[in-house]
Amino acid sequence: MEHETPTGLVIDELWRYPVKSMGGERLAEVAVDALGMEGDRRWGLVDAETGRVLTGRRAPALLLARAQHLGPGAVAITLPDGTATTSDDDLSDWLGRRVALVPSDSASPQFEVPNPDEEDWRVYDAADAVWHDSPRARLSLVSRTTVGDWDPRRFRSNVLLAGAGEDDLVGATLGLGTATLEITKPISRCVMVTRPLPGLDADRSVLKAILREHAGTLAVGALVTAPGTLTQGAPLRLLAAPDV
């Protein structure tokens, strides 16, 4: 395309998270469309008592399990003890509450978010069709420079970039692989980034540092305006600069 400008950012890693708030899988290549990555956030565990989709905010244990996309309508889950299951009974026994594994659909799910004191919860309607937190961010991107010494798994971004400067691209149109993206917003962070992960202890200092040093945001969200394929090593190209 004419008038492309290199940004200096390159895809270092690609990550897909098939089940809401569970660990995901690293990919070398993946297709993206208007709903985001193929197979990303296409499943969730619904609490039978509330009818709401559980997240790592409400059920931190979810972050210790791992999910793999097996193709349209199929997912694999590995629990922390190594058990492979998609049984509602097994998942309910593991979490200590009655849950059902359900695919995302056209309905907007309800999630729960802790208030700042983390003593009570408020409910909000999230993105429809695929269960991202916001309909304005179907992909998330963050650079290694921004992440610094933190383990990038804490932030569950789809695209980990080598380089720096993604925050300056909000409002820009970008080429990535064969897809076109619109960078829509900085991504606000919550208590979930402090939760333990496999091989990582809980760390409340992470969120405190993000609030202090990054104004409460870390990574940027994007919409896919032209579908295509993302490939590890592909450069991020500026097609249209942000409006100023």
User: Mind giving me the DSSP string for 212-240?
Assistant: HHSTTEEEEEEEEEE-EEEETTPEEEEEE
How many domains would you assign to the chain? 1
**pTM of the shown model:** 0.93
Per-residue pLDDT for 116 more than 70?
no
Please say whether the beta carbons of 243 and 173 come within 8 A.
Answer: no
Please say whether the beta carbons of 190 and 158 come within 8 A.
Answer: no
Q: How far apart are CA 173 and CA 119, in angstroms?
A: 40
Neighbours of 23 (CB within 10 A): 23
Q: Which residue has the tokens 């049984």?
A: 87
What six digits make up the tokens of 89? 């009974």
Q: Which CATH number characterizes residue 19's domain?
A: 2.40.33.20
Of all residues in the chain, what percent carry a pLDDT higher than 70?
95
H-helix or E-strand spanning residue 144: helix 144-147
Q: How confident is the model at residue 109 (pLDDT cuts 50, 70, 90)?
A: confident
DSSP state string for 55-93: -TTT-GGGGGSEEEEEETTEEEEE-TTS-B---HHHHHH
H-helix or E-strand spanning residue 206: helix 205-213
Which residues span the domain enclosing 85? 5-240
pLDDT of 191-240, one tens digit each?
899 999 999 999 999 999 999 999 999 999 999 999 999 999 999 999 99
pLDDT of 151-160, one tens digit each?
999 999 999 9
Say how far residue 59 (Cα) sits from the centre of its chain.
16
Amino acid (1-letter code) at residue 226:
A
Q: Which pLDDT value is given to residue 1?
A: 45
Q: In the chain, how long is the greatest CA-to-CA distance?
A: 56
